[in-house]
A = this chain, B = another copy of it.
């Protein structure tokens, strides 16, 4: 007979999910009500309003997709790409590759602009591709690459797309709430994110936003959207602004309670303050890591504060070290992905996990575990360096 599951209490400093605040967990366990209950509809409106704030947009079509970030990505591509459409896909990590798969599965042609993992999207290459192909429909890229910890220049790429009459499709899964992101000011046409990164709500929901130009493209489609679940024209009947909501699917009621609470917390903190907090703790973590003698993969100019790719020193048993952190400290950090597997750790400082307590815990745990593997690092200095960075 299987018994109730009681998870361990972790500190989640991987690439997400991040630590979820007890406030958000408590919200999630409030009594389930119907997805057409008048009070639920009102809460949906509040979520929309707070997502607009988080995305810095007035887009009416701003809402949470009832599935994880991968489905939010799919919601953007399945609605905007028709067979034969050419889409520039910028790839500088795992998630650009997933965008390519999306374009191709919906019958589009992906024009790849590739940059090395750990470097940002090269805006000049995007411009060259736009020049070379006269018939590009959209430019898709990842704002904050979770696989490497790189920030690309979303403002510049979106401006370029607009100059060439193309839509922009932006992956903001890891950027929303963690670094500057301004959908309207930057002219982003379609964007998707996740809840389990810098918003620190549990995973399972993907906030998306579509601007006027994207909606025009959806309205002008010649073919049916090859998805019923993600068809924006249908979903809008339920999430739209009117008093009368048409049933589309059963919303994930309790997960939305959690998202609502995490957005209230973001509103109370203030978006700019949240961005500043991510930067402040990143600076301290960085100071500690460097004092210890560890390097970071990504150049400072385009480094994400919320996702730190740390170069693994020679001689470390990567898997054993991460197991040690998990078993001895109940601390989760992320492994490297793809070509970076075994070469980097990914240390997240996202949302509720982005605290001084966690920075210090991580530095201590890492130092002790490295020493126990006999790795030569500078000991006894990381804590002081991090503390100094906070002054």
Name A residues whose Cβ lies closer than 8 Å to a Cβ of B: 1-10, 12, 14, 16-17, 19-20, 23, 25-35, 37-40, 43, 46, 49-50, 66-71, 73-74, 78, 98, 101-102, 104-107, 194, 196, 202-204, 224-229, 247-255, 257-258, 260-261, 263-264, 267-268, 326, 332, 337
| Partner among B3, B12, B106, B227 whose Cβ is within 8 Å of the Cβ of A33 | B12
Contact among B7, B227, B252, B255 with A31 in the assembled complex (CB-CB below 8 Å):
B7
Which secondary structure characterizes the binding site on chain A? loop
Chain B residues lying within 8 Å of A19, measured Cβ to Cβ, are 32
Q: A74-B229, A194-B250, A203-B251 are in contact. Are A6 and B30 (CB under 8 A)?
A: yes
Q: Are B257 and A5 in contact (CB under 8 A)?
A: yes
CA of A203 to CA of B7 in the docked complex: distance in angstroms? 21
CB distance from A21 to the nearest CB of B (A): 10
Chain B residues closer than 8 Å to A25, beta-carbon distance? 29-32, 254
Nearest CB in chain B to that of A7: its residue: B33
Copies per complex of this chain: 2
Q: Which of B3, B43, B68, B104 contacts A264 (CB 8 A)?
A: B3
List 13 other contacts, CB 8 Å, given A67-B68, A202-B253: A4-B23, A7-B33, A7-B37, A10-B34, A17-B33, A17-B34, A17-B35, A35-B203, A66-B68, A73-B228, A74-B228, A78-B227, A202-B252
Q: Are A43 and B5 in contact (CB under 8 A)?
A: yes
Instruction: Report chain B residues within 8 Å CB of A255.
Output: 202, 204, 252, 254-255
How far is it, in angstroms, between the C-alpha of A253 and the C-alpha of B68 when the chains are bound? 11
Interface-centre pick from A6, A68, A78 (highest chain B CB count, 10 A): A68
